[in-house]
C-alpha cells in the first residue's frame, strides 16, 4: 500500500524536464515576451492578451503540442494545452516579471 501511495505522489509532483524548452517555443510562437500583455490559465487553456495577434504562429504552437488555438478578438487568444496550461502560464508570468 505504501509503495502505491509513493508512486502516486511521485507522478503528481513530477517536474517536466522539458518545460523551459516548451515555454521558449511557446513564447517565440506568440511573437516574443514583448508581445504578451497578459497571461493566465484555466484548467486546460492558456489565456493570453497580445499586443499584435498577427505575430501569432498557430502552426508552430500546434507543432509544439497545442491541441487547438481559439482567437477571441483582435488581442485575445486561448491556446488549448490540456493540464499543462497552468504550468505554462506560471512560467511565462515568471519570465515577464
What separation in angstroms does the CA of 23 have from each of 3, 5, 10, 74?
33, 31, 23, 23
For domain 1-96, the CATH superfamily is Glucose permease domain IIB (3.30.1360.60)
Residue from 7, 8, 33, 42 carrying the catalytic annotation = 42
CA distance 33 to 22: 14
Active-site residue 39, yes or no?
Answer: no
Residue extents of the structural domains in the chain: 1-96
Per-residue pLDDT of the chain (97 residues; tens, 9 = 90+): 667 766 665 555 455 778 899 999 999 999 999 999 999 999 899 999 999 999 999 999 999 999 999 999 999 999 999 989 999 999 999 999 8
Find residue 36's DSSP bridge partners.
Answer: 50
> What is this structure's pTM?
0.82
Amino acid at each position: 500500500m505504501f509503495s502505491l501511495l509513493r508512486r502516486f505522489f511521485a507522478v503528481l509532483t513530477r517536474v517536466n524536464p522539458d518545460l523551459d524548452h516548451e515555454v521558449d517555443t511557446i513564447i517565440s510562437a506568440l511573437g516574443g515576451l514583448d508581445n504578451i500583455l497578459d497571461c493566465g490559465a484555466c484548467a486546460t487553456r492558456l489565456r493570453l492578451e497580445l499586443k499584435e495577434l498577427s505575430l501569432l504562429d498557430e502552426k508552430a504552437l500546434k507543432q509544439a503540442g497545442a491541441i487547438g488555438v481559439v482567437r477571441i478578438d483582435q488581442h485575445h487568444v486561448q491556446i488549448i494545452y490540456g493540464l499543462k496550461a497552468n504550468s505554462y502560464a506560471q512560467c511565462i508570468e515568471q519570465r515577464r516579471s
